[in-house]
Amino acid sequence: MKRLSTLILSLLAIATAHADEVQVAVAANFTGPMQVISVLFERDTGHKANLSFGATGKFYAQITNGAPFEVFLAADNKTPAKLLKEGHAVAGTAFTYAIGTLVLWSADAKLVDAKGEVLKKGGFKHLSLANPKTAPYGTAGLQVMNKLGVADSIKPLIVQGENISQTHQFISTGAAELGFVAYSQVIKNGAIGSGSGWIVPANLYDPIRQNAVILDKGKDKPAAVALMNYLKGEKAQAVIKSFGYELR
């Protein structure tokens, strides 16, 4: 019995020795699915993903100024490509882990109609939008308003969020009656769970191809490679799809 206990402890020590941690910068829209995936990842691999959430543009600034991130899950494909070009990421590691969907959403169950006509009809005092300079979903929302010809009339009403999480917070607390958020933030059982919303047709904004990449600081990290592989696996992809994202 004593020998068995010693053997078990030895095996646990070996497993712990091989376990690794990875510092991950995650676009705010992917908060929900990544929190789920990180738990599965640690359970299945023994590696731990330490997550930080925020706006893609702000993460770019932090990474180029030496922030200790090792993997970056961006809300677009342009920022990882730029980091690769500038030598801040590992060549050949970038891939599209999700394609995002934009939603015009309100906490008021009666405000947003199924075709988004509320943008033209008005009747609201504030609309929340993530900062288009740093948040790809904010850029997409601005593209929608421009294509519908309502940008000029709505711009004075915009309450700008630092990222898509703050944008959702402004809407859910009533600081803005409606706004553009990620479908992943409001989906429940395959549909918009509360309030009212319009799933914006994809032809009204550029595709939100969200790319992941191993950063220069993570090039020799086993957990970084393991996480990238895990994101491509069936378990992670099932989680991603359940939050309303399309897969590549």
Q: Which domain holds residue 25?
A: 2-99+208-242
pLDDT surpassing 90 at residue 121: yes
Q: Taking the CA of residue 198 as centre, how many other CA atoms within 13 Å lie in the half-sphere pointing to its CB?
A: 20
Mean pLDDT of 205-213: 98
Give the integer Cα–Cα distance in Å for 210 and 240.
12
Q: Is residue 33 part of a domain?
A: yes
pLDDT digits (tens, 9 = 90+) for 9-28: 333 333 444 689 999 999 99
Domain match, 112 and 141 both: yes
User: Token digits for 136?
Assistant: 């790809």
Q: Which of 9-13, 135-139, 234-238 has the lowest mean pLDDT?
A: 9-13
Q: Residue for token digits 């959403």? A: 105
Please give the pLDDT value at position 237.
98
pLDDT for position 12: 39
- In this predicted structure, what is the pLDDT of residue 19? 82
Question: Is residue 164 a contact partner of residue 59, using CB atoms and an 8 Å limit?
Answer: no
Cα–Cα distance between 95 and 72 in angstroms, integer? Answer: 11
Amino acid at 123: G
Q: Indicate whether 195 and 232 sit together in one domain.
A: no
What global pTM score does this model have? 0.89
Domain contains 16:
yes
CB-CB neighbours of 199 under 10 Å: 18
Q: How many domains does the chain fold into?
A: 2
Mean pLDDT of 80-109: 98
Residue 1 DSSP class: -
Residue-level pLDDT at 8: 40
- Quick check: is 167 in a domain? yes
**Alpha-carbon Rg of the chain, whole angstroms?**
20
- Among 246, 230, 213, 175, smallest CA distance to 37 is for 230
